[in-house]
Structure 1
Amino acid sequence: MKTLLAALALSAATLAQATPVDDLVMAAEMNDPRVVSSLLLKGVDPNLTDSRGRTALFTAVREGSLKALESLLASPQVNVNAVNADGETPLMLAAIRGALPAVKALVERGADVNRKGWTPLHYACSGPDNGVAAFLIAHGAELNARSENGTTPLMMAARYGSGDLVPMLLKAGAEPRAANEQELTAADFAQRSGRDNMAAELRRAMAEAAKAAK
Protein backbone atom coordinates (compact mmCIF):
# COMPACT_ATOMS: atom_id res chain seq x y z
CA MET A 1 0.00 0.00 0.00
CA LYS A 2 2.83 2.39 0.86
CA THR A 3 4.46 1.68 -2.49
CA LEU A 4 1.21 2.40 -4.33
CA LEU A 5 0.68 5.63 -2.44
CA ALA A 6 4.24 6.71 -3.18
CA ALA A 7 3.77 5.99 -6.88
CA LEU A 8 0.53 7.97 -6.94
CA ALA A 9 2.18 10.86 -5.16
CA LEU A 10 5.05 10.85 -7.67
CA SER A 11 2.62 10.76 -10.58
CA ALA A 12 0.66 13.68 -9.13
CA ALA A 13 3.86 15.64 -8.60
CA THR A 14 4.94 14.98 -12.18
CA LEU A 15 1.61 16.21 -13.51
CA ALA A 16 1.79 19.29 -11.33
CA GLN A 17 5.22 20.11 -12.74
CA ALA A 18 4.19 19.57 -16.38
CA THR A 19 5.05 22.54 -18.57
CA PRO A 20 3.28 23.78 -21.71
CA VAL A 21 6.04 22.14 -23.74
CA ASP A 22 5.32 18.82 -22.01
CA ASP A 23 1.67 19.27 -22.96
CA LEU A 24 2.62 20.04 -26.57
CA VAL A 25 4.80 16.95 -26.90
CA MET A 26 2.10 14.82 -25.28
CA ALA A 27 -0.47 16.19 -27.74
CA ALA A 28 1.89 15.31 -30.59
CA GLU A 29 2.33 11.81 -29.20
CA MET A 30 -1.45 11.36 -28.87
CA ASN A 31 -2.06 12.81 -32.35
CA ASP A 32 -4.27 15.59 -31.03
CA PRO A 33 -4.12 18.46 -33.56
CA ARG A 34 -6.63 20.57 -31.64
CA VAL A 35 -4.45 20.75 -28.53
CA VAL A 36 -1.32 21.23 -30.64
CA SER A 37 -2.86 24.21 -32.43
CA SER A 38 -4.20 25.67 -29.19
CA LEU A 39 -0.81 25.52 -27.47
CA LEU A 40 0.96 26.99 -30.48
CA LEU A 41 -1.51 29.89 -30.56
CA LYS A 42 -0.72 30.49 -26.90
CA GLY A 43 2.92 30.96 -27.86
CA VAL A 44 4.46 27.63 -26.89
CA ASP A 45 7.77 27.22 -28.73
CA PRO A 46 7.52 24.00 -30.81
CA ASN A 47 11.31 23.65 -30.92
CA LEU A 48 11.80 23.31 -27.16
CA THR A 49 12.31 19.94 -25.51
CA ASP A 50 10.05 18.54 -22.82
CA SER A 51 11.12 17.13 -19.46
CA ARG A 52 12.18 13.92 -21.23
CA GLY A 53 14.26 15.69 -23.87
CA ARG A 54 11.73 15.24 -26.67
CA THR A 55 10.45 17.78 -29.17
CA ALA A 56 6.93 17.80 -30.55
CA LEU A 57 8.04 17.46 -34.19
CA PHE A 58 10.27 14.43 -33.68
CA THR A 59 7.62 12.85 -31.48
CA ALA A 60 4.88 13.32 -34.08
CA VAL A 61 7.08 11.73 -36.76
CA ARG A 62 8.17 8.85 -34.53
CA GLU A 63 4.60 8.06 -33.44
CA GLY A 64 3.09 8.45 -36.89
CA SER A 65 0.87 11.28 -35.61
CA LEU A 66 0.09 12.77 -39.01
CA LYS A 67 -2.69 15.14 -37.91
CA ALA A 68 -0.55 16.54 -35.11
CA LEU A 69 2.36 16.80 -37.53
CA GLU A 70 0.32 18.86 -39.95
CA SER A 71 -0.68 21.22 -37.13
CA LEU A 72 2.96 21.60 -36.10
CA LEU A 73 4.07 22.28 -39.66
CA ALA A 74 1.51 25.04 -39.92
CA SER A 75 3.55 26.98 -37.35
CA PRO A 76 6.09 29.37 -38.92
CA GLN A 77 8.26 28.81 -35.82
CA VAL A 78 8.84 25.10 -36.20
CA ASN A 79 12.34 24.14 -37.36
CA VAL A 80 11.81 21.35 -39.88
CA ASN A 81 15.57 20.84 -40.22
CA ALA A 82 16.33 20.43 -36.54
CA VAL A 83 18.63 17.53 -35.67
CA ASN A 84 18.40 15.11 -32.78
CA ALA A 85 21.25 13.74 -30.66
CA ASP A 86 22.11 11.28 -33.45
CA GLY A 87 22.33 13.99 -36.10
CA GLU A 88 19.06 12.93 -37.72
CA THR A 89 16.38 15.24 -39.06
CA PRO A 90 12.61 14.65 -38.87
CA LEU A 91 12.65 13.91 -42.61
CA MET A 92 15.26 11.21 -42.13
CA LEU A 93 13.16 9.51 -39.45
CA ALA A 94 10.04 9.70 -41.60
CA ALA A 95 12.00 8.29 -44.54
CA ILE A 96 13.35 5.25 -42.71
CA ARG A 97 9.83 4.45 -41.55
CA GLY A 98 8.49 4.60 -45.08
CA ALA A 99 6.03 7.26 -43.90
CA LEU A 100 5.30 8.83 -47.28
CA PRO A 101 2.55 11.22 -46.11
CA ALA A 102 4.86 12.61 -43.42
CA VAL A 103 7.74 12.83 -45.90
CA LYS A 104 5.57 14.77 -48.33
CA ALA A 105 4.36 17.14 -45.61
CA LEU A 106 7.90 17.83 -44.38
CA VAL A 107 9.31 18.42 -47.86
CA GLU A 108 6.42 20.72 -48.73
CA ARG A 109 7.17 22.68 -45.56
CA GLY A 110 10.82 23.09 -46.59
CA ALA A 111 12.68 20.15 -45.09
CA ASP A 112 16.10 19.70 -46.72
CA VAL A 113 16.16 16.72 -49.08
CA ASN A 114 19.96 16.86 -49.31
CA ARG A 115 22.48 17.32 -46.52
CA LYS A 116 26.10 16.48 -45.75
CA GLY A 117 26.75 12.89 -44.71
CA TRP A 118 23.79 10.57 -44.22
CA THR A 119 20.77 11.82 -46.13
CA PRO A 120 17.03 11.16 -46.14
CA LEU A 121 17.55 9.04 -49.27
CA HIS A 122 20.04 6.81 -47.43
CA TYR A 123 17.41 6.35 -44.74
CA ALA A 124 14.59 5.70 -47.21
CA CYS A 125 16.69 2.98 -48.85
CA SER A 126 17.17 1.30 -45.46
CA GLY A 127 13.49 0.90 -44.61
CA PRO A 128 10.19 -0.35 -46.03
CA ASP A 129 10.20 2.57 -48.52
CA ASN A 130 6.54 2.76 -49.65
CA GLY A 131 7.55 5.09 -52.47
CA VAL A 132 9.61 7.43 -50.30
CA ALA A 133 12.86 7.02 -52.26
CA ALA A 134 11.19 7.78 -55.60
CA PHE A 135 9.51 10.84 -54.09
CA LEU A 136 12.79 12.14 -52.69
CA ILE A 137 14.57 11.59 -56.01
CA ALA A 138 11.78 13.43 -57.83
CA HIS A 139 12.39 16.33 -55.43
CA GLY A 140 16.11 16.54 -56.08
CA ALA A 141 17.67 13.99 -53.77
CA GLU A 142 21.29 13.26 -54.71
CA LEU A 143 21.33 9.69 -56.03
CA ASN A 144 24.99 9.10 -55.27
CA ALA A 145 25.20 10.97 -51.97
CA ARG A 146 28.06 9.78 -49.76
CA SER A 147 27.87 9.26 -46.02
CA GLU A 148 30.90 9.93 -43.84
CA ASN A 149 32.27 6.47 -44.68
CA GLY A 150 31.44 6.66 -48.38
CA THR A 151 28.21 4.66 -48.30
CA THR A 152 25.66 5.45 -51.02
CA PRO A 153 21.88 5.01 -51.01
CA LEU A 154 22.30 2.17 -53.52
CA MET A 155 24.49 0.29 -51.04
CA MET A 156 21.86 0.68 -48.31
CA ALA A 157 19.14 -0.50 -50.68
CA ALA A 158 21.25 -3.51 -51.67
CA ARG A 159 21.65 -4.59 -48.07
CA TYR A 160 18.47 -3.50 -46.32
CA GLY A 161 15.87 -2.21 -48.78
CA SER A 162 12.91 -3.81 -50.50
CA GLY A 163 13.59 -5.77 -53.67
CA ASP A 164 12.33 -3.13 -56.07
CA LEU A 165 14.57 -0.34 -54.77
CA VAL A 166 17.80 -1.39 -56.47
CA PRO A 167 16.28 -1.57 -59.99
CA MET A 168 14.56 1.78 -59.39
CA LEU A 169 17.80 3.45 -58.26
CA LEU A 170 19.76 1.99 -61.17
CA LYS A 171 17.13 3.18 -63.65
CA ALA A 172 17.27 6.64 -62.08
CA GLY A 173 21.03 6.76 -62.66
CA ALA A 174 22.66 5.53 -59.47
CA GLU A 175 26.34 4.59 -59.93
CA PRO A 176 26.74 0.82 -59.34
CA ARG A 177 30.56 0.97 -59.38
CA ALA A 178 30.89 3.27 -56.36
CA ALA A 179 32.79 1.83 -53.40
CA ASN A 180 32.91 2.95 -49.78
CA GLU A 181 35.98 3.42 -47.59
CA GLN A 182 36.26 -0.35 -47.17
CA GLU A 183 36.23 -0.77 -50.97
CA LEU A 184 32.81 -2.42 -50.82
CA THR A 185 30.34 -1.87 -53.65
CA ALA A 186 26.56 -2.23 -53.63
CA ALA A 187 27.05 -5.72 -55.10
CA ASP A 188 29.20 -6.61 -52.09
CA PHE A 189 26.52 -5.28 -49.74
CA ALA A 190 23.93 -7.47 -51.44
CA GLN A 191 26.21 -10.50 -51.37
CA ARG A 192 26.90 -10.10 -47.67
CA SER A 193 23.16 -10.06 -47.02
CA GLY A 194 22.62 -13.28 -48.94
CA ARG A 195 20.91 -11.50 -51.81
CA ASP A 196 22.69 -13.40 -54.54
CA ASN A 197 20.33 -12.50 -57.40
CA MET A 198 20.53 -8.84 -56.51
CA ALA A 199 24.31 -9.03 -56.29
CA ALA A 200 24.41 -10.56 -59.77
CA GLU A 201 22.12 -7.81 -61.08
CA LEU A 202 24.40 -5.16 -59.61
CA ARG A 203 27.52 -6.76 -61.09
CA ARG A 204 25.88 -6.76 -64.51
CA ALA A 205 25.09 -3.08 -64.02
CA MET A 206 28.73 -2.47 -63.06
CA ALA A 207 29.95 -4.18 -66.22
CA GLU A 208 27.53 -2.21 -68.39
CA ALA A 209 28.57 1.06 -66.74
CA ALA A 210 32.24 0.26 -67.28
CA LYS A 211 31.60 -0.60 -70.93
CA ALA A 212 29.65 2.61 -71.49
CA ALA A 213 32.44 4.65 -69.92
CA LYS A 214 35.02 3.45 -72.49
Structure 2
Amino acid sequence: GHGEIVQQLLAHSAIDVNSQDEEGETALFAAVRAGNEVAFWKLTAHSGINPHLRNKKGETILMTAIVAKQQSAEILQWLLDQCDVNLQDNEGETALFAAVRAGNEVAFWKLTAQSGINPHLRNKKGETVFMTAIVTKRQSTEVLQWLLDQCDVNLQDNEGETALFFAARTGNERIVQQLLAYDTIDVNL
Protein backbone atom coordinates (compact mmCIF):
# COMPACT_ATOMS: atom_id res chain seq x y z
CA GLY A 1 0.00 0.00 0.00
CA HIS A 2 0.88 3.68 0.31
CA GLY A 3 2.85 3.15 3.51
CA GLU A 4 5.29 0.80 1.82
CA ILE A 5 5.72 3.16 -1.14
CA VAL A 6 6.42 6.08 1.20
CA GLN A 7 8.90 3.94 3.14
CA GLN A 8 10.72 2.93 -0.06
CA LEU A 9 10.93 6.54 -1.23
CA LEU A 10 12.18 7.74 2.15
CA ALA A 11 14.86 5.03 2.15
CA HIS A 12 16.37 6.48 -1.04
CA SER A 13 19.38 8.59 -0.07
CA ALA A 14 18.72 11.29 -2.68
CA ILE A 15 15.17 11.99 -1.52
CA ASP A 16 14.36 15.54 -0.43
CA VAL A 17 11.43 15.12 1.96
CA ASN A 18 10.92 18.89 1.96
CA SER A 19 10.69 19.28 -1.81
CA GLN A 20 7.89 21.70 -2.67
CA ASP A 21 5.56 21.53 -5.67
CA GLU A 22 4.40 24.52 -7.73
CA GLU A 23 1.97 25.46 -4.94
CA GLY A 24 4.78 25.32 -2.40
CA GLU A 25 3.43 22.19 -0.76
CA THR A 26 5.46 19.22 0.44
CA ALA A 27 4.63 15.54 0.84
CA LEU A 28 3.66 16.33 4.44
CA PHE A 29 1.02 18.80 3.19
CA ALA A 30 -0.31 16.09 0.84
CA ALA A 31 -0.45 13.49 3.62
CA VAL A 32 -2.33 15.91 5.90
CA ARG A 33 -4.74 17.01 3.17
CA ALA A 34 -5.52 13.39 2.27
CA GLY A 35 -5.81 12.29 5.88
CA ASN A 36 -3.14 9.64 5.24
CA GLU A 37 -1.92 8.89 8.74
CA VAL A 38 0.53 6.17 7.70
CA ALA A 39 2.30 8.53 5.29
CA PHE A 40 2.19 11.36 7.85
CA TRP A 41 3.91 9.33 10.58
CA LYS A 42 6.48 7.86 8.18
CA LEU A 43 7.33 11.36 6.92
CA THR A 44 7.56 12.89 10.39
CA ALA A 45 9.85 10.06 11.49
CA HIS A 46 12.35 11.13 8.80
CA SER A 47 15.18 13.13 10.35
CA GLY A 48 15.13 15.83 7.66
CA ILE A 49 11.42 16.66 7.74
CA ASN A 50 10.56 20.32 8.21
CA PRO A 51 7.00 20.85 9.52
CA HIS A 52 7.50 24.63 9.49
CA LEU A 53 7.42 25.11 5.71
CA ARG A 54 4.61 27.15 4.20
CA ASN A 55 2.91 26.96 0.83
CA LYS A 56 2.72 29.87 -1.61
CA LYS A 57 -0.36 31.23 0.20
CA GLY A 58 1.71 31.35 3.39
CA GLU A 59 -0.37 28.58 4.94
CA THR A 60 1.25 26.19 7.40
CA ILE A 61 0.79 22.44 7.60
CA LEU A 62 -1.16 23.05 10.82
CA MET A 63 -3.61 25.33 8.97
CA THR A 64 -3.98 22.72 6.21
CA ALA A 65 -4.71 20.00 8.78
CA ILE A 66 -7.34 22.16 10.49
CA VAL A 67 -9.15 22.89 7.22
CA ALA A 68 -8.93 19.25 6.05
CA LYS A 69 -10.59 18.11 9.32
CA GLN A 70 -9.39 14.55 8.67
CA GLN A 71 -6.70 14.37 11.30
CA SER A 72 -6.54 12.13 14.31
CA ALA A 73 -6.15 13.77 17.70
CA GLU A 74 -2.55 12.54 17.75
CA ILE A 75 -1.64 14.21 14.44
CA LEU A 76 -3.29 17.47 15.44
CA GLN A 77 -1.47 17.42 18.77
CA TRP A 78 1.88 16.67 17.08
CA LEU A 79 1.38 19.66 14.78
CA LEU A 80 0.36 21.88 17.69
CA ASP A 81 3.51 20.84 19.54
CA GLN A 82 5.72 21.51 16.50
CA CYS A 83 4.22 24.62 14.95
CA ASP A 84 3.88 28.28 15.89
CA VAL A 85 0.11 28.65 16.31
CA ASN A 86 0.28 32.41 15.73
CA LEU A 87 1.97 32.36 12.32
CA GLN A 88 -0.01 34.39 9.82
CA ASP A 89 -0.56 33.43 6.18
CA ASN A 90 -0.41 35.87 3.26
CA GLU A 91 -3.86 37.20 4.22
CA GLY A 92 -2.76 37.71 7.82
CA GLU A 93 -4.80 34.80 9.14
CA THR A 94 -3.67 32.32 11.78
CA ALA A 95 -4.57 28.71 12.61
CA LEU A 96 -7.34 30.09 14.84
CA PHE A 97 -8.88 31.84 11.82
CA ALA A 98 -8.60 28.54 9.90
CA ALA A 99 -10.43 26.67 12.68
CA VAL A 100 -13.22 29.27 12.73
CA ARG A 101 -13.59 29.37 8.93
CA ALA A 102 -13.65 25.56 8.73
CA GLY A 103 -16.01 25.21 11.68
CA ASN A 104 -13.47 22.84 13.25
CA GLU A 105 -14.32 23.11 16.93
CA VAL A 106 -11.97 20.32 18.01
CA ALA A 107 -9.04 22.26 16.56
CA PHE A 108 -10.43 25.54 17.91
CA TRP A 109 -10.47 24.29 21.50
CA LYS A 110 -7.06 22.62 21.17
CA LEU A 111 -5.65 25.90 19.83
CA THR A 112 -7.16 27.99 22.61
CA ALA A 113 -5.59 25.62 25.15
CA GLN A 114 -2.10 26.32 23.72
CA SER A 115 0.03 28.64 25.79
CA GLY A 116 0.84 31.72 23.80
CA ILE A 117 -2.21 31.60 21.52
CA ASN A 118 -3.08 35.12 20.45
CA PRO A 119 -6.79 35.57 19.64
CA HIS A 120 -6.23 39.31 19.10
CA LEU A 121 -4.28 39.06 15.84
CA ARG A 122 -6.02 40.60 12.86
CA ASN A 123 -5.96 39.69 9.20
CA LYS A 124 -4.99 42.10 6.42
CA LYS A 125 -8.56 43.45 6.33
CA GLY A 126 -8.23 44.34 10.00
CA GLU A 127 -10.76 41.68 10.97
CA THR A 128 -10.51 39.75 14.22
CA VAL A 129 -11.19 36.04 14.67
CA PHE A 130 -14.44 37.04 16.39
CA MET A 131 -15.58 39.06 13.34
CA THR A 132 -14.74 36.09 11.11
CA ALA A 133 -16.67 33.74 13.40
CA ILE A 134 -19.75 35.97 13.15
CA VAL A 135 -19.64 35.97 9.35
CA THR A 136 -19.01 32.24 8.89
CA LYS A 137 -22.01 31.30 11.08
CA ARG A 138 -20.45 27.90 11.85
CA GLN A 139 -19.66 28.41 15.50
CA SER A 140 -21.30 27.06 18.60
CA THR A 141 -22.50 29.39 21.32
CA GLU A 142 -19.47 28.36 23.41
CA VAL A 143 -16.95 29.29 20.69
CA LEU A 144 -18.61 32.65 20.10
CA GLN A 145 -18.75 33.36 23.83
CA TRP A 146 -15.05 32.48 24.28
CA LEU A 147 -14.11 34.82 21.43
CA LEU A 148 -16.41 37.54 22.74
CA ASP A 149 -14.80 37.27 26.17
CA GLN A 150 -11.35 37.74 24.59
CA CYS A 151 -12.03 40.67 22.30
CA ASP A 152 -12.38 44.40 22.47
CA VAL A 153 -15.98 44.78 21.28
CA ASN A 154 -15.24 48.20 19.78
CA LEU A 155 -12.35 47.20 17.52
CA GLN A 156 -12.85 48.31 13.94
CA ASP A 157 -11.61 46.62 10.78
CA ASN A 158 -9.98 48.54 7.92
CA GLU A 159 -13.43 49.67 6.72
CA GLY A 160 -14.34 51.02 10.17
CA GLU A 161 -16.76 48.17 10.87
CA THR A 162 -17.09 46.64 14.35
CA ALA A 163 -18.23 43.20 15.53
CA LEU A 164 -21.67 44.75 16.16
CA PHE A 165 -21.84 45.81 12.51
CA PHE A 166 -20.81 42.29 11.38
CA ALA A 167 -23.50 40.73 13.60
CA ALA A 168 -26.20 43.14 12.40
CA ARG A 169 -25.23 42.71 8.73
CA THR A 170 -25.40 38.91 8.98
CA GLY A 171 -28.69 39.03 10.89
CA ASN A 172 -27.25 37.34 13.97
CA GLU A 173 -29.71 38.64 16.54
CA ARG A 174 -28.24 36.59 19.41
CA ILE A 175 -24.75 38.11 18.93
CA VAL A 176 -26.24 41.61 18.51
CA GLN A 177 -28.00 41.19 21.86
CA GLN A 178 -24.85 39.83 23.53
CA LEU A 179 -22.78 42.74 22.21
CA LEU A 180 -25.37 45.33 23.27
CA ALA A 181 -25.26 43.86 26.79
CA TYR A 182 -21.62 44.94 27.16
CA ASP A 183 -21.25 48.17 29.14
CA THR A 184 -18.26 49.17 27.02
CA ILE A 185 -19.98 48.80 23.63
CA ASP A 186 -19.97 51.96 21.54
CA VAL A 187 -22.98 51.70 19.22
CA ASN A 188 -21.91 54.84 17.36
CA LEU A 189 -18.78 53.31 15.84
Q: For this structure pair, what is the TM-score category when the shorter chain's length is used for normalisation? A: 0.7 to 0.9
The 1:183–1:50 alpha-carbon spacing in structure 2 relative to 1, beyond 3 Å, is closer
Deviation, 1:129, is: 1.4
- Decide whether the 8 Å contact of 2:67 with 2:102 is kept in 1: yes
Q: Which residue of 2 aligns with 1:106?
A: 79
**TM-aligned CA deviation for residue 54 of structure 1:** 4.7
Deviation at 1:193, TM superposition (A): 2.5
Is residue 46 of structure 1 aligned with residue 23 of structure 2?
no
Give 1:50 deviation, angstroms.
5.1
Q: Which runs of 5+ in 1 are unaligned?
A: 1-26
Q: What is residue 175 of structure 1 aligned with on the other side?
A: 152
Deviations 1:55-113 (A, max 9, x none): 211111222223322222222322212111212111112223445634322122x1111
- Paired with 1:87 and 1:113, the residues of 2 have a C-alpha distance of 13
Map of 1:37 onto structure 2: 7
Match of 2:65 in 1: 94
Distance 1:81 1:192, change over 3 A: farther
TM-score normalised per structure 1? 0.71
Q: Distance in 1 between matches of 2:5 and 2:47?
A: 17
For 2:120 and 2:64, locate their aligned partners in 1 and report how far apart those are by CA, in whole Å: 20
| Match 2:135 to one of 142, 145, 159 | 159
Residue in structure 2 matching 1:129, options 72, 87, 104 = 104
Bigger radius of gyration = 1
Q: Tell me: CA distance 1:147–1:35, structure 2 relative to 1, closer, same or farther (3 Å).
A: same
Matched with 2:124 is: 148
Match of 2:87 in 1: 115
Matched residue, 1:16: none
Deviation at 1:121, TM superposition (A): 0.7
Match of 1:7 in 2: none
Q: Distance in 2 between matches of 1:69 and 1:194?
A: 42
Q: Aligned with 1:126: secondary structure?
A: helix
2:84 aligned partner, one-letter code: D
Closer/same/farther in 2, CA of residues 51 and 141 from structure 1, 3 Å limit: closer
Partner-residue secondary structure (3-state), 1:60:
helix
Provide the rounded CA distance (Å) in 1 between the counterparts of 2:167 and 2:64.
Answer: 23
The question of whether the paired residues in 1 share the 8 Å contact of 2:66 and 2:102 is answered with yes
Q: Is the 8 A contact 2:67 2:104 kept in 1?
A: yes
Structure 2, unpaired ranges of 5+: none
Q: Read off the aligned partner of 1:178 and give its amino acid letter.
A: L
Q: 1:72 to 1:181 in 2, by over 3 A?
A: same
Partner of 1:199: 176
Q: CA deviation at 1:174?
A: 2.9
How many residues get paired?
A: 177
